[in-house]
Structures are given as C-alpha cells and as structure tokens.
Amino acid sequence: MASQSHNIKIHDHFSVSPPSATATSLSLKFFDLFWLRFHPVERIFFYTLPTPQSDPSIFYSKIVPKLKTSLSHTLQHFPPLAGNVVWPHDSPNPIVQYTPGDAVSVLVAESEADFNHVLDNSPHEASESRCLVPHLDSSDSHASIVSLQITLFPNKGFSIGISTHHSVLDGKSSTLFIKAWSSLCKTNDDESSESSSPSLAPELVPFFDRSVIKTPSDLGLNLTIIWTEVLTKLFPTENSDGRCLKLAPFPPRLEDHVRATFALTRADLEKLRKRVLSKWDIVETGEESEPPRLSSFVLTCAYAVVCIAKAIHGVKKEKEKFSFGFTVDCRARLEPPIPDNYFGNCVWGRLVDADPLDFIKEEAFVIIAKSIDSKIKEMSEKGIFHGADSVFSKHASLAKERVEILGVAGSNRFGVYGSDFGWGKPAKVEITSVDRALTIGLAESKDGNGGVEVGLVLNKHVMDLFATLFRHGVSDE
C-alpha cells in the first residue's frame, strides 16, 4: 500500500475537518491580494523523540492519532483554513470560503534519511527538504489554503511540513495556527471526543473580523489598483482572464544549490551593532540623524544580504547590482491599531534606497544597515504607505536594470521554537520555500538567548564564499 518517492515512503493520506464548524467566508483585503498568485510558504518543524516513542508501531498508533485529533480541534477555531480560495462571478475580489465537509490534506510518510544529517545546519543538497513539505493544490477556479505532512524518521524523530497560501495568512498568522495546534496537542488528552472543542488561551484565538482593515483610499494609499489587470500583467502566460487562482510557477532552485542555516549569537549581534554605530557618521547615506539602537532584524538582514551579494559577485563577477526588499507587520502601525491576533495578511513591503552597487562596497554592511533602518523609521514617521505609489514602477525599473532583488521570509519575533506538541520544542525549524527566490529565512535562536538564525539556499560555490564571509565578519580578529 505504501508508495515510494525518493527516500520517502507514503503510509497514509487523509483529510481532517473541524468537528462542527458552520459555513463561513472571508473577504480578501488589500493586504491579501498582493500575494494571490504567490508561491506557498513552506516550513518544516523537526522534533526529536525518545527511542521508544519513535518506534514506528508506537508512532503510528499513538503520536499520529494525537496529532490528527488535536488538528481537528484546532480547525474548529480556524475553520477557514479547511476551506478554499474561490472567486465568485459576482464578487470584485476573491474570497476564502469554508463549507462543512471541507478539510485539510494530511500526508503521513516515513523517511530513510539520516535524521542527524537533516538536523545539521551545514550545507547539504537543497533538494533534500523538498520531500518533507506537501504540495498545495491550486487550479484556475480554487486554491487550497493549508496542507500538511507528518514524516517519521524511525527511532529518531519526526517532522511536520506545512504549506500555506500566502494570500490567506501571513507569517504571524501561520505561526499563530501552529502554536494553537501544538498547545491543544500538548494539553488535551488524545482520547478526547472528536466532537469536543477544547478552548484556546486568549492570545491564541484568531481574530477574523476583516472590517478592521480599511480600503486603500481610507488607508491613505494613493493607488487605484484593478487586481485583475495587475495579475494579468504579472503572469501573462499563466492567466487568461485575470481571475485565475492557480499559483504562479516559482520553481525551487535545486540544481547545484545547497541549503544551510547560520547563527548569529547575541554577542555576534552586539559586535555588528557596535561596528555600524562606530561608522554611522563616516558613511554617507543621507541618513545622518543620531545613531539608533539598531534592532536585531536590521543587523541580521543587512549583514546576511551583504554577505550574499559579495559572495555572488565573488563567484559571478558580472553580478554586481543588488537591492533588498522586506516586509513589516502593520498591525500596530495602523490607525487605529488592529488586534495582534488578526488572522490574515497585515504586512507591507519596502525596498531600500541604497544604490544597487552599494551592496558590494567595502562598507556595504554599514550602508545597508542604515538604509534598512531609515526605511523603518520612515514608515513610523510618515506612515506605512509613504511612497507606495511608486512601488510597482520601482520594481519594474530594477528588473529592467537586471538588479538581483534579495528578500526575507519569517521573523526572529515569531517564536517558532516555542511550538511544543508535547514531545519537546523543535530541534530545528526551516523555511523551505526560501529556495524559490533569493530569500533569507529568519527565526529566533532555538536556545532562547537572543540570537537569530538565518536559513538560505545558494549555488554551492556561492555558499562556500558566503560561509567564509559570514564567519569572518563576526570572528574575533
């Protein structure tokens, strides 16, 4: 009955529904629509198990049923996740629609891979993670919102791979769901009734009221966007009528690419902070205000993307122009602020103002750190949508100049290492989908000591040079 795929054996494929949720629909708002055809966001949570519990017979008879039951209970609080994105003919925008009977797809698999190798942060073939994340279905007329894969590494541990539709939930919302699921799995008896609905801690209860998100004009955004036209221009060969919901092709970069995770400790971040502040007034960027208390996000992003840019340029000399785009959570930045547990997208992006050649200069780290910090400050002082009317033209201009645009996924503030399903905290968390673009994946350090983890996928030769640059920059000289 089991089917083989690479080093993965599929043991089961089932669907999980909320026990008794009623039909519901959510409108996709301005923040959601930007991501409508974007690739799925894919994460893997790895858990080490004591040998008795990771024995296959016990894993399949005890652990999988507990995960399945708690998932059903969690979906009772998050019913839209079991539904689909659809676009009714009488609706100007797509909607999320849940109908009783809709369900989340769950694969149960077994891997022959060496679990210790999988957990190792050092470079390994980028393709190795792909068999641990599930496919997210989409077509012209509908798209699934979440799919899951639970994979056993016999006598070692297991992983939970999750693929999510970005137009329905941002990083903060997807980690809220994982935290809710892990909480119910850990605290509720696995023999509890399928029809019962255990309660969640207040901070884990999703807030679904979309009326708190204003229209673009009410938000002060000077953009008249007809989304069908934008999508048709972005994906002309993939989209015949502008209302297609099939996710656009962002194929993973796997051939000759490796995946690795790098850590910056609290001490490393302090070194980097002192380096930037010591040269704040020397490096000219047009941002000459008093040095701020630079955040770990600013320092990590600036340091990582500069190391990437220099590594790419070092290997491929013709590649010398770069830019960096990032998103910020707008929940607390809107007027009035919206609840922290708002479920949906509430992020807005910015491109740094640095010159494309700045990323490979001697003082590139300081320049880019100042540029990122300046953009964040600008959003606080002038509003999150200041300059937003030029965002599409700026992207188009950079693409025309053949500028490599680097991005970032995740956050060191999501607390992904707090997702304990009852068998301990994750041994590792990976944002697998960073292999679909030139993107870094951020997470807090798993030791909880204020450090940051950076995950990325690069060409093998570029990764070798990146690793050298990254480590040298924080070593004691």
- Residues with catalytic function: 166, 420
Name, in order, each residue with C-beta under 8 angstroms of 232's C-beta and a sequence gap of 6 or more: 239, 242
Name, in order, each residue with C-beta under 8 angstroms of 473's C-beta and a sequence gap of 6 or more: 272, 303, 307, 365
Contact 212, 339 (CB under 8 A): yes
DSSP at 356: T
As a whole number of angstroms, the distance between CA 360 and CA 80 comes to 45
The position carrying tokens 């050298």 is 468
**3-state secondary structure (DSSP) of residue 68:** helix
Name, in order, each residue with C-beta under 8 angstroms of 443's C-beta and a sequence gap of 6 or more: 410, 411, 412, 414, 416, 417, 429, 431, 452, 453, 455
CA dihedral for 387, 393, 398, 401, sign (positive or negative)? negative
Backbone angles phi, psi at 44, to 5 degrees: -130, 130
How far CA 307 is from CA of 303, 319, 372, 462, 469, in Å, comes to 6, 14, 15, 10, 6
The long-range contacts involving 309-312, CB below 8 angstroms and separated by at least 24 positions, are: 309/359, 309/360, 309/364, 309/404, 309/406, 310/359, 310/360, 310/364, 310/465, 310/469, 311/458, 311/462, 311/463, 311/465, 311/466, 311/469, 312/404, 312/458, 312/462
As a whole number of angstroms, the distance between CA 85 and CA 4 comes to 31
List the one residue out of 42, 48, 43, 44 whose CA is nearest residue 425. 48
SS (H, E, C) 155-224: CCEEEEEEEECCCCCCHHHHHHHHHHHHHHHHHCCCCCCCCCCCCCCHHHCCECCHHHCCCCCCCCCCCC
HSE-up (13 A, CA, CB side) for residue 296: 20
Angle at 16 between CA 15 and CA 18, to 5 degrees: 145
As a whole number of angstroms, the distance between CA 454 and CA 408 comes to 10
Bridge partner residues of 350 (DSSP): 326
Rg (alpha carbons) of the chain, rounded to whole number = 22
